[in-house]
Amino acid sequence: MSDISRGKSGGVSRRSVLKAGAASGLVLATPTIFSSKAHAAGFRNDPGAAKSVTFGFNVPQTGAYADEGADELRAYKLAVKHINGEGDGGMLNTMKPLSLKGNGVLGKKVEYVTGDTQTKSDAARASAKRMIEKDGALMITGGSSSGVAVAVQGLCQEMGTIFMAGLTHSNDTTGKDKKRYGFRHFFNAYMSGAALGPVLEKEYGKERRAYHLTADYTWGWTQEESIKNTTEALGWQTVNTVRTPVGAGDFSQYITPVLNSGADVLILNHYGKDMINSLTQAVQFGLRDKQVNGKQFEIVVPLFSRLMAQGAGPNIKGILGTTNWNWSLTDAGSQAFVKSFGAEYGFPPSMAAHTCYVQALLYANACEMAGTFNPIPVIKALEGFKFDGMGNGATEYRASDHQCFKSVLVVRGNENPTSQFDLLDVVQEVPRSQVEYDPAIFGGELGPYEVAM
């Protein structure tokens, strides 16, 4: 059986075979070791004299948040078009101050790579790493879950690559887990609570008993905490807070106990398909037709989106919540965006699409302002950047925690929708001053500008 191999290697000792193997392995591997070090000179993925730069769009394409991910990707493609000077320019026509010239970024055409986060931290980090290490992405953006955003943001800090968070609503993203290389345009749970509080007081009064059902991860926890703090400050009591697994599908075992708990408000800290399922089931169980403590039973969904409203159908009628943006806004920026998005895809954008589109534009604009792709000057350009004309009125990227501050919308499920997209009524546009907070309350450290590579 080994006649042949013996014949060939008869004169060679084992030791020399092993030695030769190890030695040649080392020799062959050397060039890559050196070439990987060579990149460390300037900053990671320096485009140098290349004609194009690459952005990495990391969105959920499968899983509970896939609808949001698909809409985010549409928005990113549109943003790339506009930055490169194709199409009608969208918000480039309304953004102030604007450094972009519609010829790409710093004269380089923008290209992009995509990845699937699967709404799992592992998969999201693997996909982000691939885009940074293999495809040379200068910036990573996207995501529809705070768990993923926190994980990818941590990775980007290590890698020295800027992360422009997509849809993430947890206080932690720019609170205890904030990072120097991470930026968030979207609002957070604290702002939802602060905006919602006065409206809840006006609509439902000061004596209510609330029951929370909460998605069991960073976003759910912080939203529950923020809403609880707000409502208890109004004088409400909190009957119970129950954590439910993400993607549970069937919430009946969690909703049944609500019926006999003496609570008269159900607060659903759920998002995406989870919210659609829990809300639908709560309505099916007859919660909204009940009278408890002499009051009408109410349901509140603190984080609302048009995509979810579409999924939940007529069940959302009259339900209060908050949202970052809605396509029905009439300012010039929103209208420009809705118009070019509609022309491209045939339907209005979701708030996930809006925040992602704005993030891509803001990053490109900051590079143009800084005059380089080097992340350190770009971060400094974004920190404290004040802008307008992007759909939320005057907005500021606060330097101390990389959180955008702008007005927040309190919305209600539309009782008489005029179209399949006309699902949310804006009850009130809560000004920035009412939702602002001291960054110190959440702790956390931004970390250094310089990262070891």
Partner 1 sequence: MSIQSTRKDLLIMAVFTLAVLTMPIWLDPIGAAYPDLLQKFAIFGIFAIGFNILFGLTGYLSFGHAVFLGVGSYSAVWSFKLLTMNVIPAVIAGTLIAGVFAVVIGFLCLRRSGIYFSILTLAFAQMSYNMAYSVLTPITNGETGLQLTQNDPRIFDAAAETTGLPITELFGMKLSGYPGFYFCAVLLIISFFISLRIFRSPFGLKLRAIKSNQVRMNYTGFNTRPYLLAAFVISGMYAGLAGSLMAVTDPLAGAERMQWTASGEVVLMTILGGVGTLIGPLLGAGLIKYFENIFSSYNEQVLHEIFSFLPDLFENIMVFVVNPFVGEGWHLTLGALFMVIVIFLPGGIMEGWTRLIGLFTKDRSKPDNNTPASAKAQTSEG
Nearest Cα to Cα of residue 187 among 197, 199, 173: 173
120 binds partner 1 (CB under 8 A): yes
* Candidates 86-94, 155-163, 226-234, 249-257; binding stretch for partner 1 (CB under 8 A): 155-163
CA–CA–CA angle 176, 179, 183 (5° rounding): 105
| Shorter beta-carbon distance to partner 1: residue 57 or 405 | 57
Distance between alpha carbon 200 and the CA centroid of its chain, in Å?
26
Q: Identify each DSSP E strand in 64-208 by its residue range.
A: 109-116, 139-142, 162-165, 182-184
Nearest Cα to Cα of residue 356 among 341, 370, 342: 341
Residues in contact with partner 1, counted by CB under 8 A, come to a total of 58
Smallest gap from Cβ 36 to partner 1, in A, equals 5
When computed from its CA atoms, the radius of gyration of the chain, rounded to whole angstroms, is 25
Q: How many residues does the chain have?
A: 453
Contact with partner 1 (CB under 8 A): which of 126, 234, 399, 426? 126
b/e per residue 403-417 (b: at least 16 CB within 10 A): bbbbbbbbbbbbeeb
Please, are residues 315 and 308 in contact by the beta-carbon 8 Å criterion?
no
195 binds partner 1 (CB under 8 A): no
260 binds partner 1 (CB under 8 A): no
362 binds partner 1 (CB under 8 A): no
Report 276-295 residues binding partner 1 (CB under 8 A): none
| Shorter beta-carbon distance to partner 1: residue 244 or 365 | 244
Q: Give the separation between CA 70 and CA 119, rounded to whole angstroms.
A: 13
Please, are residues 167 and 143 in contact by the beta-carbon 8 Å criterion?
yes
| Shorter beta-carbon distance to partner 1: residue 97 or 245 | 245
Find the DSSP H helices in 235-331.
Answer: 252-259, 272-284, 306-312
For the record, the structure tokens of 389 come out as: 């004309």
The 8-37 contact track toward partner 1, x by CB under 8 A, reads -x----x--xx-xxx-xxx-xx-xxx--x-
325 binds partner 1 (CB under 8 A): no
Smallest gap from Cβ 2 to partner 1, in A, equals 5
Smallest gap from Cβ 35 to partner 1, in A, equals 9
Contacts of 450 (CB under 8 A, 6+ apart): 376
Smallest gap from Cβ 133 to partner 1, in A, equals 4
Smallest gap from Cβ 380 to partner 1, in A, equals 17
Contacts of 311 (CB under 8 A, 6+ apart): 67, 273, 276
Contact with partner 1 (CB under 8 A): which of 100, 105, 139, 246? 246
| Shorter beta-carbon distance to partner 1: residue 116 or 388 | 116
Report 36-95 residues binding partner 1 (CB under 8 A): 36, 61-62
Contact with partner 1 (CB under 8 A): which of 90, 115, 166, 439? 115
Contact with partner 1 (CB under 8 A): which of 135, 201, 331, 425? 135
Rounded to 10 degrees, what is the CA torsion of 255, 219, 318, 272? -80
Smallest gap from Cβ 126 to partner 1, in A, equals 6
Q: Give the separation between CA 124 and CA 404, rounded to whole angstroms.
A: 24
Smallest gap from Cβ 313 to partner 1, in A, equals 26
Binding site for partner 1 (CB under 8 A): 1-2, 5-6, 9, 14, 17-18, 20-22, 24-26, 28-29, 31-33, 36, 61-62, 111-116, 120-122, 125-127, 129-131, 133-135, 147, 150-151, 154-155, 157-158, 216-218, 243, 245-246, 445, 447-448, 451-452
